[in-house]
Amino acid sequence: MHILLIEDDELVARGVTAGLRLHGLTVDWVGTAAAAQAALDSFHFDVCILDLGLPDEDGMALLRRWRTRGQSLPVLVLTARDAVEYRVEGLQAGADDYLLKPFDLDELLARLHALHRRAAGRSVNQVNHGSLSFLASTGEVALEGARIDLSRRELALLRALLQHPQRVLSAERLRDSLYGFEQEVESNAINVHIYHLRRKLGPNIVETVRGQGYRLGAAGW
């Protein structure tokens, strides 16, 4: 899951980034509305965490602009302002969820997973794909009931494929989901993770669509 964190406070941003990364999520942090817009224009994100007090623009205005432009990225608003009217205003501006500072990292994680799940049209935490079952909140993977250990990147790759089971995802898109935009990665880095995923979950779990990208295939042997 590729998260865009828009937060002007460095301390909070570093904490959230570190915490979510420890949970196996890919997090990119920007400090201003302008940077957020630039990031959103050039990368794919699954969920956005938006702090309302941004230095260059009100977070609410940014969100409203996104929604009027048809940007459907799930947005979780993070704020220290707790008056009810702020929450109502936030939700009316197009926020999908609202979390008050100081929050619990586990709660943030659960809500991010819920938003991600809802965006894929699922209402339960567990994803079943053939003989493969995947617990979105904890990242536990089982094949025919047997638990499989996956590395952080492998998990991120599987999560991205499971989120859009019918769609062909480009290599860049998958790279965004795995690494975020901060890291310089070599062009074949994804292939390594695809190779490991095929070794652990069956040779057809990732289908290569020539010239376009990759797609989720059948699990198991």
Binding site for another protein (CB under 8 A): 8-12, 14-16, 18-19, 22-23, 31-32, 53, 55-56, 79-83, 101-106
Distance of CA 77 to the CA centre of its chain: 15
Residue 100 CB, shortest distance to another protein, in Å, is 8
The single residue listed with the structure tokens 């994804």 is 190
Residue 49 CB, shortest distance to another protein, in Å, is 12
Residue 25 CB, shortest distance to another protein, in Å, is 12
Residue 107 CB, shortest distance to another protein, in Å, is 10
Distance of CA 148 to the CA centre of its chain: 22
Q: Which is nearer to another protein, 152 or 164 (CB)?
A: 152
Q: Which is nearer to another protein, 52 or 127 (CB)?
A: 52
Q: What is the dihedral of CA 61, 63, 68, 71, to 10 degrees?
A: 150
Map residue 195 onto helix, strand or coil.
Answer: helix
Sheet with 2-6, strands from edge to edge, namely 26-30, 2-6, 47-51, 75-79, 97-100
Determine how many CB atoms are found less than 10 A away from the CB of residue 196: 15
Counted residue by residue, the chain has a size of 221
Q: Which is nearer to another protein, 17 or 163 (CB)?
A: 17
Q: Which is nearer to another protein, 108 or 219 (CB)?
A: 108
